[in-house]
Amino acid sequence: MADFCLVSRRVLDDEEHRIFRYHFLLGADWKLCCRRLNMDRGNFFHAVYRIEQKLGRTFAELEPYPLYPLRDYFSGVIHRQVLPLSA
């Protein structure tokens, strides 16, 4: 997680990082982000698409090891066992 945060902070400018932090890290929906950042819906989504493109390329081209695809970065999948409720 720290790699994603550090790389995003290094690559994004201040305004893009605020959008990244609110929308992607904190999980705020577009309405809350627009209200908090004083943006309209169109500009918000254009900024989100630019951020996704910029970070996606950066994560894929990162040296010596890319952060993308995630399954390779985290080297495996965690399977959770569902236990039945006892009566």
Residue 4 has pLDDT above 90, yes or no: no
- For the chain, the C-alpha Rg in angstroms (whole number) is 17
| Between 84 and 30, the higher pLDDT residue | 30
Residue 68 has pLDDT above 70, yes or no: no
Per-residue model confidence as pLDDT tens digits over 26-42: 999 999 999 999 999 99
* Predicted local distance difference test score (pLDDT) of residue 22: 93
User: Is 31 within 8 Å of 21 (Cβ atoms)?
Assistant: no
Fold of domain 2-73? Arc Repressor Mutant, subunit A (1.10.10)
Interval 10-26 mean pLDDT = 93
Residue 19 has pLDDT above 80, yes or no: yes
Find how far residue 67's CA is from the centre of its chain: 12
